Chain A
Amino acid sequence: MTTVNETLGQYSELFMLLAALTYTVSFIAFAADLVRARKVTTAPAEPAQEPALAAAGTLGTVQWSHGSGAGKANNHNDAVVDDAMGYKALRRPAARIGVAVGILGLVVHAAGVVTRGIAAHRVPWGNMYEFTTTGAMLVMAVFLTALLFRDLRFLGTFITGLVLVMLMAGAIAFPTPVAQLIPALQSYWLIIHVSVAVLSAAIFTLTFALSVLQLAKTRQEKSGKPRTAGLLRLVPGPVSLEQLAYRLNAIGFILWTFTLMAGAIWAEAAWGRYWGWDTKEVWTFVIWVVYAGYLHARATRGWDGTRAAWLSITGYLCVIFNFAVVNVYFPGLHSYSGL
């Protein structure tokens, strides 16, 4: 019988605390970036460069010009970001600090999660404290990974703020000492089912933020105020937010479908039925249906845009409810010991 390593468990808690402090710095930097961007004036808009074209034309044999369809590029001159989420030359030192410190925070955070796992001789997602801390780590990791593909630094305050809240909630609401798993959780499906569930929740977190901003931007545009006003200046237009949210939601939905399947397979092995409308199963199903609705809405006339954004937000609220309320307050087979 393995025993837990309590010293390592205490180191893990120390790492979590350090990570929280680091994220705080990152949060402040991202916030400063948003505030600063309100006032900065940009250089006159340069004509958009054709990607890959400069290289193609040099040999002289072939002349090539390409244009995306008409009516798409209607950027205001004063806007700092276009609809492809490309930013004009704009110095954002605070955002750079935010990202750098955020990476550092993630490294420390990961150390906390890993030491917790080593201390317990198992994957560190067996109770609410561990779901929360591992979930927060994945939210941050998904965000930083997304930065490789898109400049989403305008989400930095939201993400680091949320991660901070999650770490605090874990430490205050669900403090749990390192312990061995109860028999019901002793299954390799714990590794598969829960990790994918938390990963998809992390992705839905990102799309939630995008959808909220999409609604805000839509409202701002409708109100006729100049698009550059206020803290939303760095935020791209609603159409590009919606498109990115859709792509991420599609990935999240695939992962959530897998979560549901893996959960059903595990439930079959543990309780002899793959589906039993346990409270947790009900909400997992509800979330799945809401996001399925979202995907259909995007393809239905009159339901895309704002309505779809509301569905995306509703889906995420269900995810939060499923995690924070159902696990804690609802009686069911998924009530976790050591809460």
Chain B
Amino acid sequence: MPRLGPTGMLRWAWRQLTSMKTALQLLLLLAVAAVPGSLFPQRPANPAVVTQYIQDNPGLGPWLDRFQLFDVYSSLWFSAIYLLLFVSLIGCVIPRAVQHWKALRSQPPRTPRRLSRLPEYGTMTVAADTDLTPGRAIEDAANVLRRRGYRVQLRDTGTDLPSVAAERGYLKEAGNLVFHTAMIGVLVSIAVGGMLGYRAQKLIIEGEGFTNAELGYDSFFPGTNFNPGALVPFSLTLNDFDVTFDRNPASYGNPIDFTADMTVQDSPSDTPRQETLRVNEPIGFGGTNVYLIGNGYAPEITVRDGEGNIALQGPVASLPTDATYNSTIVIKAPDARPDQLGFVGFFLPTAMVDEDGVAFGSDPDPYNPQLNLNSYTGDLGLDDGNAVSVYQLDTTELTQLNGRDMPDGGIVLGAYQTYELPDGKGSITFEGLKRYVALDIVYDPGKAGALVFTTLALFGLIITLTTARRRVWIRAGQHEDGRTMVEYGLLARGEDHSLAKEAIRIGSALTAHWNKANDQNRQATP
């Protein structure tokens, strides 16, 4: 085996990488590599579920994490596969594009000596009385081919055996190249969107508003190269949120309409206008779109502390856990004195009590709204400066006041009811009910590019898979007895299942033409 040397090695590796076989293997590997992402929870979509999964599977979880199986689509191995694939693709597309460009500018290849070896071959003999010279026959053939969309070149016209070489279907390779190049464009567009865009979440309760500033968001995920100056200074207010549930007996309680009535302003200096935000119908602000992603109930709560002061007042968003909007709720009153107060429990829009005395929600509409809460007192954990989710309360260090197993029982609050906490710790009142919407606000500057390139890819694909690239050669000569002999051969480049049909069509066209010409000849010379 000859020693290749470093450059030789590189060249060899490059040839391997850009070979069709490698590309195919990488493609299949990519399909396999994408699968684990559907089997394990993924961090970008659902970080909380991943954390839970690792907790539940202390043996397997950390190992899966080590191999990036919770971040499959940003993992080193997945990235390696698709980047190698794209390098291979580029290495394949560029030389083919050059080759195709040359082919576009060159003439069809010369006529093979033995046409009978081609996959489709036929001969025609034209009677001597037609006076069809071989040169004339080839011109006729060239015309027929031209009409069928071939690029045509006459060969050896001055000789006894003139021929025509023809080729069609250049678009097949062009479409192929467009498709593959567009794939690169899609990848670049995704990268651009990921780098320069952002995605953010905001929960807005009825009657409240929001302006597009980083700080206003509940969560904000900027791209690596995001420029805060790209934030469009829009603002919006949720006037009203309407929900309609299906009341047909068969599909009772399914949501059939979510409509958010909003007042929006494109910038502080613009006049406010009314907009309706619905699922599938985002509101746009110059490239930044606002999407209706979720909704829920926000009971209005007042917490009074042991000193009789209001420690907390306002709507508190609850998180729906099922289709009937049975929701979890966490209420924190860190400014209650002498002791901080916390509440954890459920909000039920329409509460019913089952035979065991357990409350459950029976309808997503608020026919009998009810709060079922446990209460706690002590240090809520907000005073040491560590940020905690507003939807969570760590009760391990707290003293429980109310609960099903406590002497005072759990807190059950119907609308407008107040509950006095034990030991004079304060009280809690269920003052009213509002709905809220959960919005996603997204700026993705790569979106348009992705659409353009996928559309290009689709068109390239359609063209390349429906066009046939074919070559045809036709040669003519004169028999000693005066008859004109014509032979033709067809060759397909790539998949072509109607080459035989094409041969028949060309043959028929020529036959018909010469028959007709001869008939006219005979009529002209009676």
Residues of A at the B interface (CB closer than 8 Å) are 1, 3-4, 6, 51-52, 56, 59-69, 72, 84, 177-184, 186-187, 189, 243, 246-247, 250-251, 253-254, 257-258, 261, 264-266, 268-279, 282-283, 285-286, 289-290, 292-293, 295-300, 302-303, 311, 326, 330, 337-338
Contact = CB atoms under 8 A, between A and B. Distances in A.
A296 B130 CA distance: 50
Top 5 closest pairs, chain A to chain B, by CB: A179-B251, A177-B250, A66-B122, A69-B119, A272-B442
Contacts of B248: 3-4, 6, 177, 179-180
Given A66-B504, A179-B248, A289-B31, A278 B45 contact: yes
B122 A179 contact: no
16 contacts: A62-B127, A62-B511, A63-B124, A64-B122, A64-B123, A178-B250, A179-B248, A183-B279, A257-B461, A261-B455, A270-B279, A272-B282, A277-B44, A299-B495, A302-B21, A338-B251
B282 A269 contact: yes
B251 A67 contact: no
B247 to A, nearest CB: 9
Given A62-B514, A69-B121, A184-B279, A293 B27 contact: yes
Contacts of A177: 248, 250-251
B254 to A, nearest CB: 6
Contacts of B497: 243, 246-247
A297 B25 CA distance: 9
The size class of the interface chain B forms with chain A is: 35 or more
Interface in B423-453: 440-442, 444, 447, 450-451
A126 B250 CA distance: 15
B518 interface: yes
A258 to B, nearest CB: 6
B60 interface: no
B28 interface: yes
A61 to B, nearest CB: 5
Contacts of B280: 183-184, 186-187, 189, 266, 269-270
Contacts of A296: 20, 23-24, 27
A187 B278 CA distance: 11
Contacts of A279: 38
Contact of A286 (B34, B281, B323, B515): B34
Nearest to A9: B250
B118 A293 contact: no
Contacts of A247: 497
B289 interface: yes
Nearest to A243: B497
B158 interface: no
A305 B38 CA distance: 31
A113 B38 CA distance: 32
A271 B515 contact: no
A118 B215 CA distance: 49
Contacts of B118: 69
Nearest to B257: A183
A299 to B, nearest CB: 7
B496 to A, nearest CB: 10
A186 B21 CA distance: 44
Contacts of A326: 38
Contacts of B24: 293, 296-297, 300, 303
B246 A289 contact: no
Contact of A289 (B30, B291, B519): B30
A79 B249 CA distance: 60
Contacts of A52: 504, 507-508
Given A179-B254, A296-B27, A68 B278 contact: no
A293 B508 CA distance: 38
A338 B254 contact: yes
B126 interface: yes
Contacts of B461: 253-254, 257
